[in-house]
Structure 1
Amino acid sequence: MDEARDFEEFAADSARRLFHVAYLMCGDWHRAQDLVQTTLAKMYGIWGRLRRNEDDPTLHAYARKVLLRAYLSQRRLRRETELVVAEPGDYLPAAGVGTSPDLRLTLIAALRELPPRNRAVVVLRYLEDHSLEATAEILGCSVGAVKSLSNRSLTKLREILGEDRELLFHD
């Protein structure tokens, strides 16, 4: 299989999941699309150097790392408040999260109130279900930093959500 077709298959397989993560991190439909395009463009630029095995999870992990770095870089450059978009879609995983659209919107709004790295930890650890080690690798920090960010982020989410917390998560 040639490199272009190989990349097209990778992009088709990865785009929806990357969008899901990007949307949860930035809370904006259009920025999420831009982040996915940026990620795939960067991946395409180095595609010839990447080894691709059919079931190689490291390629998808690398794509998430590129996405996260693009998101954090974008946040550093913009330093602006995010706009709320009316059409959030169905981007929260069903496991552990209420199915009501109102509850999903409540969680998305709460996530928007977290700083970017804290939001990234919550998305990667609890919505994407990555291990501490995998999250640390993606973020480029220590496991201890991920634990600390997780603890502070969950405390802040509990504070933001208040009574809605019981409806969203089954503690």
Structure 2
Amino acid sequence: MIKVPATGAGIPAIEVLIGEGVNVNVTLIFSLGHYEPVAEAYITGLERRLAAGGDVSSIASVASFFVSRVDTAVDMALEKIGHPEIQGKIAIANAKVAYARFREIFSGERWDRLVAHGARVQRVLWGSTGTKNPRYPDTLYVDSLIGRDTVNTLPPATLQPSLTTGKWPKSWS
């Protein structure tokens, strides 16, 4: 799996690579505005591969959202404008909106046609899930982002508390 950034130059490259059967990890996703073109490029790439007579069943891709970095950037602004009560909540809300959109995109007739040929969803990957703010629980971005067809990359400092508690909250999928 190769990494391709979700940038203006990266989006068309994703479509071409998927169309050629290359597995792709799309990086640098911070918002819904970044995510939607990524998912579209993935689906269009699968359609191109299928139209050319290629196999889509072996193609895998993840859309990697950087989670804690959103709160790191937004929390400072919230402090300045006098809304500290919502610090540490924007990144999770952003991720949940993206996940809801993921569920919409990977459903319906267009997607079902690809699934009939063995296509797999482009899974959402939650990256940068270690908390940067010492006031937040170590597992904030793990416990809050458990969902079907997601991947969560955890740094060791976050993994250890997750394993120690042994209590995984119910998924929101």
| TM-score above 0.5, yes or no | no
Query: Higher helix share goes to which structure?
Result: 1
Normalising by structure 2, we get a TM-score of: 0.29
Larger radius of gyration: 2
Relative contact order: is structure 1 or structure 2 higher (C-alpha 8 Å, sep ≥ 6)? Answer: 1
Normalising by structure 1, we get a TM-score of: 0.30
Query: Higher strand share goes to which structure?
Result: 2
